[in-house]
């Protein structure tokens, strides 16, 4: 099942990146739970909540991109190291770094997505040992 879950997560990223809302909706639960560890430990609900969390995360940047770089699966969880790049909206300074997403899969759909800035926290949330 872990390979299937990784394939599902890859498909979810691809649909999100190309803006394919119909395909994205097929892959993500209607009541998706989104958790953003930094800066505030906020929770969001549904696909609209994911869009809100993303908008808030990127509001100070332009030309924001994210590239899934590494996948690790454990049971119903997939941890993805994501490389993000952007330019400061006010400063024009380029910024880049890695963040980690934790996907929880149930019945072939993403039911929970957590955003983490520290790898060990993401791995812990997914139940993957260091």
Six token digits for residue 70: 């590494």
Local structure of residue 86 (DSSP, 8 states): E
106 touches 114 (CB < 8 A): no
Q: Where does the chain have alpha helices with state H? A: 2-18, 21-27, 46-58, 119-126
Domain count within the chain: 1
CATH assignment of the domain containing 74: 3.10.450.50
Q: Which structural domain, as residue segments, surrounds residue 22?
A: 2-126
Report pTM: 0.91
Per-residue pLDDT of the chain (130 residues; tens, 9 = 90+): 579 999 999 999 899 888 888 998 899 999 999 999 998 999 999 988 888 988 888 888 988 899 999 999 989 999 999 999 999 999 999 999 999 999 999 999 999 999 999 999 999 999 987 7
């Amino acid at each position: 099942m872990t390979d299937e879950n990784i394939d599902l997560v890859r498909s979810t990223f691809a649909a999100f990146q190309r803006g394919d809302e119909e395909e994205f909706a097929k892959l993500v639960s209607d009541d998706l739970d989104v958790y953003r560890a930094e800066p505030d430990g906020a929770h969001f609900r549904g696909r609209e909540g994911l869009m809100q969390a993303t908008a808030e995360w990127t509001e100070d940047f332009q030309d924001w991109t994210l590239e899934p770089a590494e996948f690790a699966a454990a049971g119903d969880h997939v941890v993805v190291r994501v490389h993000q790049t952007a330019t400061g909206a006010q400063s024009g300074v380029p910024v880049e770094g890695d963040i980690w997403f934790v996907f929880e899969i149930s019945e072939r759909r993403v039911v929970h997505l957590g955003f983490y800035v520290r790898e060990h926290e993401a791995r812990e949330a997914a139940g993957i040992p260091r």
